[in-house]
């Protein structure tokens, strides 16, 4: 079995590729090779021989679907890929668009539909929550600097200014909102979302939807340490029945297929959970779920192969992850291989 | 206002480390705090707890009442206990 996985970047905003691979490799049932797909020649997961067996550079999907598909076709001709697991938000659209063509090459996937991907988009989350009776912060779409002037009448400061794919900053006034708008829109495009700021503690949930409204597994986590980018650098598994029910309801209402991360804030006064985001892939902390007893990455791999997968009934509460960075020392020849040939064999 | 209920799934270790599984909050309690939580978990009333604390530690009843009341109020504020 050859599994190709993206998201091997592991900087201060780490990709989920390495933890997804760790989960798959932890399964005693797994016997195969991991093929790393990388967008940049310095993605750390590609240099870790315990993580990836062979690695290939791929072009950004934004550069066109055809060159992206042709590159995967070439990699497939060398590796005979059985399953591809994309792990980054920005590439999902391309993989979904190419799903049937990948299947024709014999490459299996387990992805949400385009319709469901769009439903949970940051620009549509508010209306999705309203029609499904899920509490979410009020938000408005900002398509131009002029639209920023709607903020004081629709919401009250502070507000969160968020990019369509990534990035979020708190703005305390219209000037700060304008600065964040300019910075985020130049990186990630439009629209920008201005969202009511909810004060409280952050809880995230990793889920795996079976595509028929059921959840194969669900593990909630409270962030214990948050970086200035809002990323959890430590967290603990918790059990809150209300949070689990809301999570099941979301997966069921979307008939979600694949991994996802649900981001919540528990409002300080009311103790109610507000849904902030639905990220359409496993989070970088997914290995905590593996450690707590739910190997969701391996379950997704089996679902992609068309196998029946039993629902996980429980997980261990009070499991903690603490993330750390670690310097890998390697030879420049490896960097040369990737940059010149676009390939790196870790064998 | 003498009976309180602590959350049934509140976990407390021998070292006084208290973990609340539904919120992920954790606290470190001293010996007396651990004793009070233990007594609340075994459904003792506030007056019974005060009596036990006075008996166990070298403290007068008024001080014990003030400290136990203050501690229970903190537990309630952290949503770890509620009045019955």
Q: What is the pLDDT of residues B12-30, one digit of tens each?
A: 898 999 999 999 999 999 9
Measured between CB atoms, does B9 come within 8 Å of chain A? Answer: yes
Cα dihedral A297, A110, A238, A227 sign = positive
Per-residue pLDDT tens over the stretch B69-84: 999 999 999 889 999 8
- The answer to whether the CB of A209 falls within 8 A of the CB of A257 is yes
pLDDT confidence of residue A209? 98
Tokens encoding A181 = 């708008």
Q: Which of B24, B27, B78, B79 to mutate to test the interface with A (most CBs of A within 10 A)?
A: B24
Element (H, E) at A192: strand A192-196
Do residues A207 and A256 make contact, with C-beta atoms less than 8 angstroms apart? yes
* Residue B1 pLDDT exceeds 80: no
Mutation target among B23, B25, B78 for the A interface, most CBs of A within 10 A: B23
pLDDT for A165 equals 77
> Where along chain A do the CATH 3.30.1490.20 domains lie?
138-196
For A199-322, CATH number out of 3.40.50.2000, 3.30.9.80, 3.30.470.20, 3.10.129.10 equals 3.30.470.20
Regions in chain A scoring below 70 on pLDDT: none
pLDDT given for residue A164 in this prediction:
82
**Domain limits for position B78:** 4-83
Q: Is A276 exposed, middle or buried (0-12, 13-18, 19+ CB in 10 A)?
A: buried
How remote is the C-alpha of A114 from its chain's centroid? 16
Going by their DSSP bridges, the two strands A2-5 and A83-85 should be labelled as parallel
Most B CBs within 10 Å: which of A200, A243, A318, A320, as the mutation test of the B interface? A318
A317 part of contact set with chain B, CB < 8 Å: yes
Helix (H, G, I), strand (E, B) or coil at A210: strand
Residues spanned by CATH 3.30.470.20 within chain A? 199-322
- Check residue A13 and give its pLDDT: 84
The beta-carbon neighbor of B24 closest among A238, A241, A271 is A238
Phi, psi of A261 (to 5 degrees): -125, 125
Tokens found for residue A244: 């689990």
Is residue B62's pLDDT more than 80? yes
Percentage of chain B lying above the pLDDT 70 cut: 99
Q: Are A255 and A213 in contact (CB under 8 A)?
A: yes
Burial of A343 from C-beta contacts in 10 A (0-12 / 13-18 / 19+): middle
Give the whole-angstrom CA distance, residue A41 versus residue A31: 27
Decide yes or no: CATH 3.30.420.40 for domain A2-110+326-345.
Answer: no
pLDDT at A295: 98
The phi and psi torsions of A269 (rounded to 5 degrees) equal: -80, -50
The answer to whether the CB of A138 falls within 8 A of the CB of A126 is: yes
A271–chain B Cβ distance below 8 A for any pair = yes
Q: Which residue has the tokens 């214990």?
A: A224
With a CB cutoff of 8 Å and minimum separation 6, the contacts of A306 are: A108
Nearest by CB to A239, which of B22, B25, B26?
B22
CATH number of the domain to which B61 belongs: 1.10.10
Give 3-state DSSP helix, strand, coil % of chain B, rounded to 5: 45, 20, 35
Contact B80, B10 (CB under 8 A): yes
How many domains would you assign to chain B?
1
Please say whether the beta carbons of A172 and A165 come within 8 A. no
CA A149 to chain centre: 32
Just give the CATH number of A138-196.
3.30.1490.20
A51-102 pLDDT per residue, tens: 999 999 999 999 999 999 999 999 999 999 999 999 999 899 999 999 999 9
The model's pLDDT over A111-152, given as tens digits with 9 standing for 90+, comes to 999 999 988 887 788 888 988 999 999 989 999 989 998 898
Percent of chain B with pLDDT over 90: 80
Q: How far is CA B67 from CA B19, B53, B61, in A?
A: 22, 10, 10
- In chain A, whose CA is at the least distance from the CA of B11? A318
């Amino acid at each position: 079995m050859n599994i190709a996985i993206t998201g091997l970047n592991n900087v201060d905003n780490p990709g989920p590729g390495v933890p997804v691979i760790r989960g798959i490799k932890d399964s005693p049932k797994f016997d195969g090779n991991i093929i790393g797909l990388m967008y940049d020649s310095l993605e750390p997961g590609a240099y870790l021989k315990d993580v990836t067996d062979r690695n290939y550079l791929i072009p950004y999907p934004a550069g066109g679907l055809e060159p992206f598909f042709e590159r995967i076709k070439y990699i497939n001709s060398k590796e005979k890929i059985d399953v591809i697991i994309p792990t980054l938000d920005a590439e999902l659209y391309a993989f979904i668009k190419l799903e049937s063509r990948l299947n024709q090459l014999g490459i299996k996937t387990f992805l949400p539909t385009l319709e469901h991907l769009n439903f949970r988009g940051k620009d549509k989350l508010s209306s999705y929550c309203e029609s499904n009776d899920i509490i979410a912060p009020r938000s408005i779409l900002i398509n131009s600097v002029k639209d920023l002037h709607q903020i004081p009448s629709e919401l009250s400061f502070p507000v969160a200014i968020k990019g369509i794919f990534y990035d979020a900053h708190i703005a305390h006034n219209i000037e700060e909102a304008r600065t964040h708008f300019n910075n985020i829109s130049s990186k990630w495009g439009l629209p920008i979302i201005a969202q009511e700021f909810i004060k409280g503690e952050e809880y995230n949930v990793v889920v795996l939807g079976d595509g028929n409204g059921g959840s194969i597994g669900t593990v909630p986590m409270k962030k214990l340490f948050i970086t200035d980018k809002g990323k959890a650098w430590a967290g603990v598994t918790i059990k809150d029945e209300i949070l689990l029910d809301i999570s099941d309801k979301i997966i069921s209402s979307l008939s979600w297929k694949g991994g996802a991360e649900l981001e919540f804030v528990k409002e300080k006064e009311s103790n109610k959970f507000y849904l902030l985001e639905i990220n359409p892939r496993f989070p970088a902390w997914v290995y905590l779920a593996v450690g707590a007893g739910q190997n969701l990455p391996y379950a997704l791999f089996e679902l992609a192969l068309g196998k029946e997968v039993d629902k996980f009934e429980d997980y261990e509460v009070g499991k903690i992850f603490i993330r750390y960075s670690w310097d890998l020392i390697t030879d420049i020849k490896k960097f040369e291989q990737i940059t010149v040939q676009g390939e790196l064999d870790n064998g | 206002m003498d009976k309180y209920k602590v959350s049934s799934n509140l976990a407390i270790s021998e070292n006084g480390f208290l973990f609340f599984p539904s919120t992920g909050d954790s606290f470190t309690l001293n010996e007396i705090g651990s004793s009070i939580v233990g007594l609340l978990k075994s459904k003792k009333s506030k007056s019974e707890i005060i009596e036990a604390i006075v008996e166990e530690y070298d403290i007068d009843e008024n001080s014990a009442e003030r400290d136990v009341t203050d501690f229970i109020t903190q537990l309630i504020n952290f949503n770890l206990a509620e009045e019955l």
